[in-house]
Amino acid sequence: MRTAAETEVRRPSAVRAMTVLLAVTAAATVVVEVLNWWYAPEQGFGLAVRTGWAMLRTIGFLLLIGHVRRGRTVARPLGLILAVTTVFAVGRLIVPRHGVPPLPGLLGFALLTALCVAVVWLLYRSPAIAGHLVRHRPRLVIERSGIFWREMPPRRPEANAWLLTSRVAAFTYSPLMLVPALVAVAEILDGRPFALPAVLFWLAAGIATSYLVLFCTAFLMRGKRWAGILLVVITVIVLAVDLPLCWWLLGVDGLIRDGTPLVAAAILALYGVRRASTAAPAS
């Protein structure tokens, strides 16, 4: 059995550099959010909700560090989704409703964008990291000798990366719906009680989406073609529900701030389904 020190030595230098880069990116996310909150002219409920959601991405980067260190294949799609949604989440907070963004916020956003681009580039372009991210999550295996947790390759390795990308992207649908729905609560508090049924429907739709995506992606990872079709249907319904509600309750500003990240996640999910369907035969 290899010791922890031996395992650390065997990791390529690119992997160690990647973990440092991810740690810096996580810290930069916090710093940029604090700067934006400090310079924001309106520190209201909506900004607090969006800032809190952006802060949660720090946890995502810490989880990504663990996957990279363990050489898990899920690190690539998780890193891609984190990088894309982080840029959108922070970018929508930098731009105020009126006027120009503050210079410290712009500089922090530029730095964070450069870090996210570097993360994606290393994940998908570095041969050393590609050779390291080959391990799959352990599965429960039942044999004559007993029951074990063992690393098992997927049944469809050709499509696995794209299916993982679609799965991770689809998992962001629910929080990307719930965040603007919570922001819309302020509309009720500001004297628009008629919006209460719409906000409750929005919250319920966001919660229901999480269960639908969980059910759908469970079969999607098994290569079922109908699961890919179902994910497309779920994506269309999610966009049809979320975007009009963003526009109606939060205005054009809310549509841009909260609708754009969801559209980006939907594009990644649909593109992953399309690439997976062309990489493997139907089952």
Residue with more model confidence, 188 or 210: 210
Confidence of residue 243 (pLDDT cuts 50, 70, 90): very high
Q: In the prediction, which pLDDT does 196 show?
A: 86
Q: Please, which residues have CB within 8 angstroms of residue 256's CB and are 6 or more apart in sequence?
A: 92
| Domain assignments of the chain as residue spans, ordered by start | 11-153, 156-283
Residue with more model confidence, 142 or 38: 38
Q: In the prediction, which pLDDT does 200 show?
A: 92
**For residue 147, which phi and psi values (nearest 5 degrees)?**
-110, 130
Mean of all residue pLDDT scores within the chain: 80
Q: Please, which residues have CB within 8 angstroms of residue 64's CB and are 6 or more apart in sequence?
A: 22, 75, 78, 79, 82
The string of pLDDT tens digits covering residues 134-159 is 776 666 666 666 665 566 665 544 44
pTM of the model: 0.73
Q: Rounded mean pLDDT of 185-191?
A: 72
Q: Rounded mean pLDDT of 250-268?
A: 86
Q: In the prediction, which pLDDT does 210 show?
A: 94
Q: Please, which residues have CB within 8 angstroms of residue 93's CB and are 6 or more apart in sequence?
A: 33, 36, 40, 47, 50, 51, 54, 257
Q: Please, which residues have CB within 8 angstroms of residue 279's CB and are 6 or more apart in sequence?
A: 158, 159, 162
Q: Is the pLDDT of residue 30 over 60?
A: yes
DSSP 3-state assignment of 192? coil
